[in-house]
Structure 1
Amino acid sequence: MTETRTLVLIPARMAATRLPGKPLLDIGGLPMIVHVLRRAEEAQIGRVAVATDTPEIAAAVKLHGGEVVMTRPDHPSGSDRIYEALKQLDPQGKIEIVVNLQGDFPTISPGNIRDVLPPLADPAVDIATLAAQIHTEEEATNPNVVKAVGSPIGPRRLRALYFTRATAPTGDGPRYHHIGLYAYRRAALERFVTLPPSPLEQQEKLEQLRALEAGMRIDVMIVDTVPRGVDTPADLETARRLLANN
C-alpha cells in the first residue's frame, strides 16, 4: 500500500446532539478533531484530510497544519461526505484506497489505523474494517455495541456475514465488537454511495449492511482493543484522562 494511492479522510460535523460542538471540544489543549488528525498522520499510510461543512472545524484544522475539504451540509452519511471530498481532492482518479476515520476517535492508535489496510491486498475484498473480541456480558448485550459476525478466514481475520446490535452469534464462542473504521477500494466507495438504503440497514440502523445486501465483500481484521468513541460527557472525560497519560 503506497502512500500515493491511499487517502485518509476524517468526516466531521457539528450536529451531535449529546455533545454539542463535539469536534472542537478541548482534550489536553487541542480540539478533538486535531487529535484524530494527528493519529492519522502518525499512521503514515497516505495523505490525510478532514472533510467538513463547518467553517469553525476547518479553521481549527488549518490552525494546526491540517488539510481541509469543505463539503455540502446535506450529506446523509459520512460515506457520502468522504466521496464528495475524494472527488474534490483527486479528480484524476489516482487514489485507489480511501480510509474513512471517524472524527470522534481521539484515542485510536496509529497502528489500528494501519491494521485496516491488509485485507485490501486481496482483490476480492471491497471494504475492510476492524473488530475486537468482546470479553464482558455488558458489552455483548449492549445494543450500542455493534457486533461483527463472520467466518474466520485466517489469523485475526473474518469475512463479514452480518453486523447487528443484537447479541450475536448465540452459543459458546467468540463475539466481536465492530470498530467503525473503514478502508474502501475506490470503486467500492463509488458503488456504495449510489446504492439506496437497504432494508436491513434501515432496520438495524447500520450503514455497512447496505454493502453486504448488495453482495459486496467486507473483511474484518481483529485487533486487541476498541478505541473509545466520544459520544457522552463521560466519554470525553475518559479520553481526556487517557490522552493526558500519553
Structure 2
Amino acid sequence: MKKIALIPARYAATRFPGKLMAVLAGKTVIWRTYDAVRGTGVFDEVMVVTDSEVIYDEIVQNGGKAVMSKREHASGSDRIAEAVETMEDVDIVVNVQGDTPFTQKEPLEKLMKVFEGEEGKNVQVASLMQEMTDWNDIEDPNFVKVAVDKNFNALFFSRSVIPYPRDTSEDPTYYEHIGIYAFRRNALLQFTKTPVSMLEAAEKIECLRYIENGIPMKMVVTEYMGVEIDTPEDLERASRLLNGEH
C-alpha cells in the first residue's frame, strides 16, 4: 500500500497573511512542517503543493520536494488532488496542513491503521482529533470542533461549541479537529468533483463537504499536543513550546 503525504500551501491567509513563511525559532513554518512530516518516516513520499513561488523556492532550495499548482482551488484537498491526478500507483493520500509544524509520527501511524484489515476496506476518509479541556479554547472559533458517533465517525464539524451544554449536569467530551486528512486516492479525486457545500462555505471547514454529501469520515483520537499556526498569537505559543515554555 503506497502512502504519500501532500502539504497544500498557499501564501494568502485571511487571519494571518503569509503565515507559512513566518519564522518560527529560526525556520519558516512551512519548512518546519515539511521537515517534521518527512522525518516521521511514515510515507513513501512527502511533497508540498503550492500556488506560491516563494513557498516553492523555500522548499526546493532547502532540499525538499514541491510542485506548483496549475489551477485555483477552493480548498487544500482540491489543491493536492490536482497533483494526485497523475499519480496512478498511489493508494493512500494524506493531506497535512502547512501550518502544523509539530506533526508527529505516532498520530500518523494511528491514522494509517484505520485503512487496514477487513474493517479498514470500508474507510474512504479519516482524520485526527484531540480532546479539549480549556473552555476558552472550546469557545474560540479559531479551534474547529468535531462531534462523533459511538463508532468515531464524524457527525459534524463547527467553529461553534459542539455539543452545546444546555444541560449543565452532563459532562460531554469536546474534541478539536486536527487538520490532517487521509484519503483513498479515488475518494480524494471524487471530492474535487463535488461542489463546495453550503455548510462548508458557511463554516469554512472543507471536510463538511463529506458530511453534507453523506460520506462517513472516521476520526482517530490522538494526544497531539501541538499548535496549528492560524494567528500571530499561535506563532507566539508555538515559539514558547519549542523553547520548553508553557
TM-score calculated relative to the size of structure 2? 0.89
1:73: Cα distance to partner? 5.2
Q: Residue in 2 aligned with 1:94?
A: 89
Q: Residue in 1 aligned with 2:78?
A: 80
Q: How does 1:186-201 map to 2 (within 5 A)?
A: 186-201=185-200
Q: Counterpart of 2:16 in structure 1: which amino acid?
A: L
Query: Does 2:162 align with 1:164?
Result: no
Q: Residue in 1 aligned with 2:167?
A: none
SS at match of 2:8: strand
Q: Counterpart of 1:35 in structure 2: which amino acid?
A: R
Equivalent of 1:104 in 99, 105, 109: 99
Q: Counterpart of 1:174 in structure 2: which amino acid?
A: T
Q: Residue in 1 aligned with 2:59?
A: 61
Do 2:104 and 2:224's aligned partners in 1 also have CA atoms closer than 8 Å? no
SS at match of 1:144: coil
Q: Residue in 2 aligned with 1:209?
A: 208
Q: Residue in 2 aligned with 1:114?
A: 109
Q: d(CA) in 2 for partners of 1:227 and 1:84?
A: 29
Do 1:40 and 1:113's aligned partners in 2 also have CA atoms closer than 8 Å? no
Q: Aligned pair in 2 of structure 1 residues 127, 69: CA closer, same or farther (>3 Å)?
A: same
Q: d(CA) in 1 for partners of 2:139 and 2:18?
A: 30
Q: Aligned pair in 2 of structure 1 residues 31, 117: CA closer, same or farther (>3 Å)?
A: same
- Give the CA RMSD over aligned residues: 1.9
Give the gaps of 5 or more residues in structure 2: 165-169
Cα shift readout 1:121-167 (whole Å, capped 9, x = no counterpart): 211111110111111222222222222111233xxxx1112212222
Q: d(CA) in 1 for partners of 2:210 and 2:68?
A: 26
Do 2:200 and 2:206's aligned partners in 1 also have CA atoms closer than 8 Å? yes
Equivalent of 2:41 in 20, 30, 44: 44
4+ aligned runs moved over 6 Å, structure 1: none
Query: Does 2:235 align with 1:236?
Result: yes
Q: Counterpart of 1:29 in structure 2: which amino acid?
A: G
Q: d(CA) in 2 for partners of 1:206 and 1:17?
A: 14
Query: Does 2:147 align with 1:149?
Result: yes
Equivalent of 2:25 in 24, 28, 32: 28
Identical pairs, percent: 36
Q: d(CA) in 2 for partners of 1:43 and 1:114?
A: 9
TM-score calculated relative to the size of structure 1? 0.89
Residue range with higher mean Cα deviation, 96-105 or 73-82? 73-82
Give the gaps of 5 or more residues in structure 1: none
- The number of residues matched between the two structures is 236
Q: d(CA) in 1 for partners of 2:243 and 2:101?
A: 12
Q: Residue in 2 aligned with 1:185?
A: 184
Residue range with higher mean Cα deviation, 224-233 or 74-83? 224-233
